[in-house]
């Protein structure tokens, strides 16, 4: 392959990885591997200037723009930092700074590089007015409503001395404890686990429902202040001022006056970063003086006055004992590497998921191979490679099972996906036990006294074969279980009785319809407010519900087409479970907005966007997402999209405030 061919290949490869990382939030290579490919491309492009391309990955910052959010241009471009994995490179950067300043004295501020998702906040007169993601560095997505749910971010500043208008930049993070909690929930619901807190934070921030964002426990640290009238002429004092205004400014922000101090800072935090409550992936070094920052200036992609030092991911080489194949509640078979125990990031790792058959083939894993296991910023251990030099001569490749390891049924592959599934939904023990365990869970029916262990025991004892059997239990039958006495049995019976008051949307979630999590269940229950309407809904009607795509619609149709599932639903109905949303109070629906079409734009103080949509529909109005000549009103909150404002003005469509709207419906 010639150098010119390699340039084109690298561009295609890097563009693909950019998409995986920033759009899908599913990186397939490590940050270091990406950076090495990018550096190779930069070197080759420098050798062949005639192949310059303004759309090359070397000329852009990766993007996280999403169609569902309004995008705006940054006041100041959000450039990325130059990365290095070498202390020697950091020292060389210090020499370049010294030369760039003509030998003038300077101070460096050492900081932690948090592993989250970048955010820019705009404040005017001490109040938060806009929050924007980094996007492509020039434009980002407006996520103000979601940012307001993060309790560590001040909406109104405290103290005094802030500029009338300024921008502060930081990192939105998911603390380890919240990440663990969220992944435990997702694992229980057989949803894909987040690989690391960065992906979890990024995915959460781009969630369309601020209530779900609030539930996930995000945090934010801030590290840079921009504006025309900042209180001080240096970065450190400005950040201390920001701390006094109520921002969460990291304690780790150390003034450093020599190369030796910088090197010692790196050595210390390379070891002690594991003690922090949030994920980190490196350190950042900045020239302190704002005047010196201006004098040093920028390259096309990054400031010359700052550099990021990336930590090496922690990994180890250990022996594969065997690969087990485990069946989940929905029948998906997951291969798991069972390893010789190895210590990584302070915990003993014995198992790591191999995800699916494609991943086994991609890694080319053989029996008893020596595998590289990595944790680094990832709390979920992952297999990153094979040490082929240690492979046994007669080792055979790991083959994915063709039959269910639990019940022996031939597996089927889901069209368009990498997963193999056991189709024996009603005869495969782990699937049955998994559905029972799911049904009784806290976010589903919340049946007190029945956990994972008891669910399995009830199934193994033959007392419960499906979720409807739970309501046929009696204290006498329960007391036949080992360890169950009168008190335990009564507790379960009380829990079963209490579950009959659980609202319909949670009942839908508890049924274990494939691809229907708690959020989707809520949307289905709202669109089809009783079980009969849901069971008879057509695929087109289901797919028309917001956020319910063709895959979910098909899964719902298939679920209720099965006579076994219908019998279970009827038995649950007969047991007294809630099979409809509660009736609205008399007079709750009106025709005050009859025939009127609304578009909602911006963020609101008195109600959420979803609540306003509900109020419009309850009062006979209709919601649409885009402005046209058929639009009657635009309900505008703070930060209304400029494109919508321009179009509404051009068409002469009335723009009303939330107070105006509430007056229209008599509130």
Q: Which of 413, 445, 467 is the last residue of a domain?
A: 413
Average pLDDT over residues 335-347: 81
Q: Coil, strand, or helix at residue 14? A: helix
Longest dimension (CA), the chain: 88
CATH code of residue 39: 1.10.287.610
To the nearest 10°, report the CA torsion of 88, 307, 252, 144: -160
CATH code of residue 559: 1.10.150.20
Range of lowest pLDDT (313-322, 490-499, 518-527, 604-613): 604-613
Is residue 588 domain-resident? Answer: no
Specify whether 263 is located in the same domain as 404: no
Is residue 140 domain-resident? Answer: yes
Burial 95-122 (b: 16+ CB within 10 A, else e): eebeebbeeeebbbbbbbbbbbbbbbbb
Question: Who contacts 440 (Cβ-Cβ below 8 Å, separation ≥6)?
Answer: 446, 447, 450, 451, 455, 470
Q: Which of 290, 310, 330 is the last residue of a domain?
A: 310
Specify whether 7 is located in the same domain as 88: no
User: pLDDT-derived band of residue 136, with 50, 70 and 90 as boundaries?
Assistant: confident
User: pLDDT-derived band of residue 347, with 50, 70 and 90 as boundaries?
Assistant: low
Residue 494 in this model has a pLDDT that exceeds 50: yes
405: number of Cβ within 10 Å? 15
CA atoms of 323 and 318, how far apart (whole Å): 14
Range of lowest pLDDT (77-81, 327-331, 517-521): 517-521
Average pLDDT over residues 157-176: 91
648: number of Cβ within 10 Å? 21
**Residue position matching structure tokens 């509640």:** 329
Question: Who contacts 133 (Cβ-Cβ below 8 Å, separation ≥6)?
Answer: 64, 65, 117, 118, 119, 120, 140, 141, 143, 205, 206
Is residue 559 domain-resident? Answer: yes
In Å, how far from its chain's centre is CA 652? 40
What pLDDT, on the 0 to 100 scale, is given for residue 190? 62
Return the DSSP state at 40: H
Residue 533 in this model has a pLDDT that exceeds 90: yes
pTM of the model: 0.52
Specify whether 173 is located in the same domain as 36: no
CA contacts within 13 A on the Cβ side of 308: 20
Question: Who contacts 183 (Cβ-Cβ below 8 Å, separation ≥6)?
Answer: 193, 194, 200, 379, 380
User: pLDDT-derived band of residue 287, with 50, 70 and 90 as boundaries?
Assistant: very high
Is residue 288 domain-resident? Answer: yes
Specify whether 238 is located in the same domain as 279: yes
- CA distances 656 to 227, 423, 637, 660, Å, are 32, 54, 9, 6
Count of domains forming the chain: 5
Q: Which of 286, 310, 334 is the last residue of a domain?
A: 310
Is residue 422 domain-resident? Answer: no
From the number of C-beta atoms within 10 Å of its C-beta (0-12, 13-18, 19+), residue 240 rates as middle
Return the DSSP state at 137: S
Average pLDDT over residues 33-57: 82
What pLDDT, on the 0 to 100 scale, is given for residue 19? 59
Question: H-helix or E-strand containing 124?
Answer: strand 117-124
Specify whether 109 is located in the same domain as 165: yes
What pLDDT, on the 0 to 100 scale, is given for residue 643? 67
Ramachandran angles phi, psi of 138, nearest 5°: -105, -40
Residue 23 in this model has a pLDDT that exceeds 50: no
Q: Which residue segment(s) compose the domain that 48 sits in?
A: 3-59
- CA distances 429 to 324, 328, 433, 462, Å, are 17, 10, 6, 11
DSSP 603-652: B-SSS-HHHHHHHHHHTT-EEESS--TT--EEEE-BT--HHHHHHHHHHT
Top-confidence residue, 332 or 346: 332
What pLDDT, on the 0 to 100 scale, is given for residue 572? 96
Residue 499 in this model has a pLDDT that exceeds 90: yes
To the nearest 10°, report the CA torsion of 444, 447, 450, 456: -40
Average pLDDT over residues 299-322: 86
Q: Is the dihedral of CA 450, 451, 457, 459 positive or negative?
A: positive
Return the DSSP state at 153: S
Specify whether 221 is located in the same domain as 304: yes
Range of lowest pLDDT (63-67, 233-237, 509-513): 63-67
Is residue 146 domain-resident? Answer: yes
The two structure tokens encoding residue 383 = 């297999």
CA atoms of 255 and 257, how far apart (whole Å): 7
Specify whether 223 is located in the same domain as 354: no
The two structure tokens encoding residue 542 = 């289901």
CA atoms of 293 and 652, how far apart (whole Å): 48
CATH code of residue 644: 3.40.50.10190
Residue 589 in this model has a pLDDT that exceeds 70: yes
Catalytic positions, written as ranges: 113
* Contact (Cβ atoms closer than 8 angstroms) between residue 438 and residue 430: no
- Among the residues of 448-602, which ranges form H helices? 452-460, 475-478, 486-498, 504-510, 518-527, 531-536, 539-543, 550-561, 563-575
Give the model confidence (pLDDT) of 627-640 as tens digits.
Answer: 888 899 999 887 67
Residue 154 in this model has a pLDDT that exceeds 50: yes
Burial 32-63 (b: 16+ CB within 10 A, else e): eebbebbeebeebbeeeeeeeeeebbbebbbb
404: number of Cβ within 10 Å? 24
What pLDDT, on the 0 to 100 scale, is given for residue 207? 79
Specify whether 601 is located in the same domain as 522: no
Please state whether beta strands 315-327 and 347-353 pair in parallel, antiparallel, or not at all (unpaired): unpaired
Specify whether 409 is located in the same domain as 377: yes
Average pLDDT over residues 14-30: 68
Strands (E), 143-279: 165-173, 219-226, 253-256
CATH code of residue 401: 2.40.50.140
Specify whether 494 is located in the same domain as 643: no
Specify whether 80 is located in the same domain as 163: yes
Give the model confidence (pLDDT) of 215-243 as tens digits.
Answer: 888 999 999 999 988 999 999 999 999 99
CA atoms of 175 and 51, how far apart (whole Å): 44
Is residue 423 domain-resident? Answer: no
Is residue 326 domain-resident? Answer: yes
Beta bridge partners of 600: 635
The gap between the terminal CA atoms of the chain, to the nearest Å, is 71
Range of lowest pLDDT (59-63, 383-387, 444-448, 545-549): 59-63
Specify whether 164 is located in the same domain as 301: yes
């Amino acid at each position: 392959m010639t150098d010119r061919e390699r340039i084109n290949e690298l561009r295609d490869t890097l563009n693909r990885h950019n998409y995986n990382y920033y759009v899908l939030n599913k990186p397939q290579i490590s940050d270091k591997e990406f950076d090495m490919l990018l550096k190779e491309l930069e070197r080759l492009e420098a050798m062949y200037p005639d192949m310059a391309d303004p759309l090359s990955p070397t000329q852009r910052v990766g993007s996280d723009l999403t169609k569902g959010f309004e995008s705006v241009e940054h006041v100041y471009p959000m450039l990325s930092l130059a990365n290095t994995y070498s202390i020697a490179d950091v020292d060389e950067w210090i020499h370049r700074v010294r030369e760039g300043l003509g030998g003038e004295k300077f101070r460096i501020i050492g900081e932690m590089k948090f592993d989250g998702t970048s955010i820019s906040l705009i404040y005017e007169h001490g109040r938060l007015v806009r929050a924007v993601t980094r996007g492509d560095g020039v434009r980002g997505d407006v996520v103000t409503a979601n940012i307001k749910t993060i309790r560590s971010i001040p909406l109104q500043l405290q103290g005094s001395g802030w500029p009338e208008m300024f921008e502060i930049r930081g990192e939105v993070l998911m603390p380890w404890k919240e990440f663990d909690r969220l992944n435990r929930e997702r694992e229980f619901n057989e949803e894909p686990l987040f690989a690391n807190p960065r992906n979890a934070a990024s995915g959460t921030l781009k969630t369309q429902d601020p209530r779900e964002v609030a539930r996930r426990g995000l945090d934010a640290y801030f590290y840079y202040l921009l504006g025309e009238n900042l209180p001080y002429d240096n970065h450190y004092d400005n950040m201390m001022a920001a701390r006094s205004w109520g921002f969460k400014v990291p304690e780790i922000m150390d003034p450093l006056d020599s190369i030796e101090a910088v090197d010692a800072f790196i050595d210390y935090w390379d070891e002690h970063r594991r003690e922090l409550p949030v994920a980190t992936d490196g350190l950042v070094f900045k020239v302190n003086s704002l005047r010196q920052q201006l004098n040093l200036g920028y390259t096309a992609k990054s400031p010359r006055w700052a550099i990021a030092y990336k930590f090496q991911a922690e990994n180890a080489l250990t022996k594969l004992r065997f690969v087990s194949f485990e069946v989940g509640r929905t029948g998906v078979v997951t291969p798991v590497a069972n390893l010789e125990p190895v210590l990584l990031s302070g915990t003993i790792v014995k198992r790591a998921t191999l995800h699916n058959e494609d991943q086994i083939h991609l890694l080319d894993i053989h029996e008893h191979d020596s595998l590289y296991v990595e944790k680094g910023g990832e709390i979920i251990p992952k297999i990153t490679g094979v040490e082929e030099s240690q492979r046994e001569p007669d080792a055979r490749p790991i083959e994915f099972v063709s039959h269910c390891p639990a019940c022996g049924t031939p597996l089927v592959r889901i069209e368009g996906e990498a997963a193999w599934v056991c189709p024996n939904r009603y005869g495969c023990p782990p699937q049955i036990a998994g559905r029972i365990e799911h049904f009784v869970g806290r976010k589903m029916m919340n049946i007190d006294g029945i956990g994972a262990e008891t669910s399995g025991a009830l199934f193994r004892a033959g007392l419960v074969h499906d979720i409807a059997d739970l309501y046929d239990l009696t204290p006498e039958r329960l007391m036949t279980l080992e360890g169950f006495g009168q008190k335990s049995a009564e507790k379960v019976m009380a829990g079963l009785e209490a579950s009959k008051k659980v609202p319909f949307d949670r009942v839908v979630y508890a049924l274990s319809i494939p691809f229907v999590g708690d959020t989707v269940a809520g949307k289905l229950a709202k669109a089809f407010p009783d079980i009969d309407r849901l069971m008879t809904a057509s695929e087109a009607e289901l797919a028309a519900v917001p956020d319910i795509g063709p895959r979910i619609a098909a899964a719902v149709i298939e679920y209720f087409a099965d006579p076994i599932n219908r019998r279970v639903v009827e038995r649950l109905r007969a047991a007294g479970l809630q099979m409809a949303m509660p009736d609205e109070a008399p007079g709750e629906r009106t025709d005050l907005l009859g025939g009127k079409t609304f578009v909602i734009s911006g963020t609101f103080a008195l109600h959420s966007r979803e609540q306003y949509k509900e109020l419009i529909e309850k009062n006979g109005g209709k919601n649409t997402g885009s402005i046209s000549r058929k639009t009657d009103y635009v309900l505008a909150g703070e930060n209304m999209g400029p494109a919508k404002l321009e179009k509404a003005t051009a068409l002469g469509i009335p723009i009303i405030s939330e107070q105006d709207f509430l007056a229209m419906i008599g509130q």
